[in-house]
Amino acid sequence: MSTDKNNNSDLHECKVKNKISKLRQAIPQFCAVGAENLLLVTLGSTIGFSSILIPELTKDKTDIFLDRDDESWISSMNLFTAPFGCLLSGLASTYFGRKTTMQLAMFPYILSWLIFYLSTTKQMLFIALVLAGLNNGIVEASVLTYVAEVSQPHLRGILSSTLSVAVILGFLTQSLTTTLTNWRTTCLVNITYPVIGFIAFCLVPESPYWLAEKQQIVNAEKALCWLRGWVSSCQIKNELEIICISVKPKDNKHKNKKHWKEFTKQTFISPFILVIVCFVIVNFAGSVCIQTYSVEIFKELNTPIGIKIAPVYLILAQLIGTIICVVSIFFTGKRTINFISIAGGGLCSLGISIYIYLVEFNFIHENKYTWLPSLLLIGTAFISHIGIRLLVWIIVGEVFPSKVKSIATSVSVAINYAFSGIANKTYLGLKDIIGLSGTFMLYAIIYFIGLVALYFMLPETEGKTLQEIQQHYSGIHKLNKNQQKEQKILI
């Protein structure tokens, strides 16, 4: 007993003596996630590349001809192949580590851009899309897990939100670069992003959770000291103990036999259903298709904005919305901003649908109000990115228990990519059947149904430790839906 008291006294004395500022604690966490964000700029550029490649290759004069079916495959092939990469994602993240998996992923990205650049047939384009899609899937588990495991509870929401900022910057680089040069030169420019990302990963540590799980306690301690502001070991002792307990298997003898049972528990099932509902809203309420087919949609809406510059405004709206989310999530929490986002997206989609209907039946003159649907379309992109488009990825990184996190995250992301591929592949056919007005009406309905569902399903996790979130889903301690944020570590 006296030994414990002495240890606690020494620990308290160490913390008081070596007290550091919150800024110093935050800087290394932003650096670690910043390296990860360079990977996500690359990931975003591979997804956004389709939206600029399709209009370039459907012009009258082009060296690679695409028909309407090829166009739908270009928009969705990398999304359909990503789930197969996700099947390997959890294994790669668990075996190689979060950081190493992301670092090695830079090489396939470089190869895919070289294939794009050298393409002379549509088959070569498909090969590059397949390679990029597989690689996108492989890194997803590491991306989402790493940010959750290196950040403190009060910074996790902000840091996780920056992941979406990076992806959108990847989209933006494609639109901006293409306005200055051709699509092949854009491929060469895109090679620089994974090269810089590889170098950046050399400067940051591996996840302390993964290191502790692999019984590399000394390395886990060093990583945690680095991530908490380059502090001494006594200052992170309590947090390291919590991490070691959370990753320690309860029964090593029967670990492999009982591991599958974790997927039958409420701690997995409830978060999994929540994540799937979020992904349904994100993919089937139009935000994915609006991004991919932005040029075609702006043309159909007879936008007064230049066709080449209109997608840039769309992406800038997404970026501004994302930045607002990053800044405001700390104050509003996830629930409030999510509901504002979903309701706003539904209203904008409904407005576009009504406008198209009124024009088709000659209730209003099209040329008089061409600015309105363009504004609503850009508004849809903006409002979706202040909430649901970003927050779903934060939720994925938070809600699953550590024992199944890598696999659960991989499966969730695989389903998201499959949903995105289905949404993009079926968009043209859906529009041919029910028209653009009916398509946006369907998007509005999905938004409003999703709003009701998430009102009852989504807890407030902002400022909560990963342990507190797991206690919520295991029924030990329920998170109040409007609970005030706490900026402390559960001990």
pLDDT digits (tens, 9 = 90+) for 199-243: 999 999 999 999 998 889 999 999 999 999 988 888 888 888 888
In angstroms, the Cα distances linking 75 to 138, 237, 260, 291 are 20, 49, 36, 10
**What sign has the CA pseudo-torsion 295, 300, 306, 311?**
negative
Q: With 0-12 CB in 10 A as exposed, 13-18 as middle and 19+ as buried, what is 100?
A: middle
Task: Give the count of beta carbons closer than 10 Å to the beta carbon of residue 254.
Answer: 11
Name the percent of the chain in helix, strand, coil, to the closest 5: 80, 0, 20
* 491 confidence band (pLDDT: 50, 70, 90): very low
| Token couple for 31 | 């650096």
In angstroms, the Cα distances linking 356 to 27, 39, 223, 435, 443 are 49, 39, 56, 9, 14
Residues in the chain: 491
How many whole angstroms separate alpha carbon 475 and alpha carbon 230?
36
Longest alpha-carbon distance in the chain: 86
Determine the pLDDT at residue 483.
45
Q: What percent of the chain has pLDDT over 90?
A: 34
| Token couple for 301 | 């809406």
For residues 418 and 98, the answer to whether their CB atoms sit within 8 Å is no
Tell me: pLDDT of 450 over 80: yes
| C-alpha Rg value of the chain to the nearest Å | 23
Tell me: pLDDT of 109 over 80: yes
Residue spans of alpha helices (H) in 248-369: 255-259, 266-284, 287-292, 294-300, 310-360
How many whole angstroms separate alpha carbon 175 and alpha carbon 170?
9
Summary mean pLDDT of the chain = 84
Q: Which domains does the chain have, with CATH numbers?
A: 21-204+263-474 (1.20.1250.20)
Averaging pLDDT over each range in 8-12, 261-265, 276-280, 387-391, which range is the top one? 276-280
Find the range with the poorest average confidence among 110-114, 404-408, 445-449.
Answer: 404-408
The pLDDT of 355-367, averaged and rounded, is 84
Tell me: pLDDT of 18 over 80: no
* 33 confidence band (pLDDT: 50, 70, 90): very high
Q: Give me the amino acid identity at 131.
A: L
How many whole angstroms separate alpha carbon 279 and alpha carbon 276?
5
Helical axes 405-457 vs 122-150, angle rounded to 10°? 80
**What sign has the CA pseudo-torsion 68, 69, 74, 79?**
positive
Tell me: pLDDT of 83 over 60: yes
Q: What percent of the chain has pLDDT over 70?
A: 90
Tell me: pLDDT of 72 over 90: no
Model confidence pLDDT, tens digit, residues 123-165: 999 999 999 999 988 887 688 788 888 998 888 877 877 887 8
In angstroms, the Cα distances linking 84 to 89, 106, 143, 426 are 9, 18, 17, 20
Task: Give the count of beta carbons closer than 10 Å to the beta carbon of residue 59.
Answer: 8
Find the range with the poorest average confidence among 75-79, 81-85, 93-97, 399-403.
Answer: 399-403
Model confidence pLDDT, tens digit, residues 370-421: 889 999 999 999 999 888 888 887 788 778 887 777 778 778 888 988 999 8
Place of tokens 């670092």: 103
| Token couple for 490 | 């559960």
* 7 confidence band (pLDDT: 50, 70, 90): low
The pLDDT of 478-485, averaged and rounded, is 53
Residue 170 sits at the vertex; the CA angle it makes with 168 and 174, to the nearest 5 degrees, is 115
Model confidence pLDDT, tens digit, residues 286-345: 888 998 888 889 988 888 887 778 888 998 998 899 888 878 877 888 888 999 999 999
Tell me: pLDDT of 261 over 90: no
How many whole angstroms separate alpha carbon 279 and alpha carbon 388?
9
For residues 153 and 463, the answer to whether their CB atoms sit within 8 Å is yes
Q: What DSSP line would sit under 144-161, residue for residue?
A: HHHHHHHS-HHHHHHHHH
The pLDDT of 357-370, averaged and rounded, is 83
- Residue environment code for 287-304, b if the CB has 16+ CB neighbours within 10 A, otherwise e: bbbbbbbbbbbbeebebe
Instruction: Note if the pTM is more than 0.95.
Output: no
* 190 confidence band (pLDDT: 50, 70, 90): very high
| Token couple for 158 | 């902000």
Q: Give me the amino acid identity at 4.
A: D
Helical axes 310-360 vs 22-57, angle rounded to 10°? 60
* 485 confidence band (pLDDT: 50, 70, 90): very low
For residues 476 and 456, the answer to whether their CB atoms sit within 8 Å is no
